[in-house]
Amino acid sequence: MTTACELCDESGGEIIFRNEQLRVVLIADANYPGFCRVIWNAHVKEMTDLAAEDRSSLMRAVCQVEMALREVLRPEKINLACLGNMVPHLHWHLIPRFADDAHFPNPVWAPAVRQTADDILSQRRALLPALRAAVTHKVSCAS
Q: Give the C-alpha separation, 75 to 71, whole Å.
A: 9
Under 8 Å between Cβ of 93 and 83: yes
Q: List, for residues 108-132, the tens digit of each pLDDT value.
A: 999 999 999 999 999 999 999 999 9
pLDDT for 85 beyond 90: no
pTM attached to this predicted model: 0.94
pLDDT of the residue at 2? 54
Residue 84's pLDDT band (boundaries 50, 70, 90)? confident
Q: Give the C-alpha separation, 17 to 141, whole Å.
A: 11
CA distances to 12, 32, 82, 119, 129 from 72, rounded to whole Å, are 22, 14, 23, 18, 10
pLDDT for 40 beyond 90: yes
All domains of the chain, ordered by start, with CATH? 7-98+116-142 (3.30.428.10)
Q: What is the mean pLDDT of residues 75-96?
A: 94
The closest of 58, 38, 68 to 129, measured between CA atoms, is 68
Whether a cis peptide bond, with omega within 30° of 0, leads into 107 is no
Phi, psi of 12 (to 5 degrees): 90, 5
What single-letter DSSP state applies at residue 70? H
pLDDT for 137 beyond 50: yes
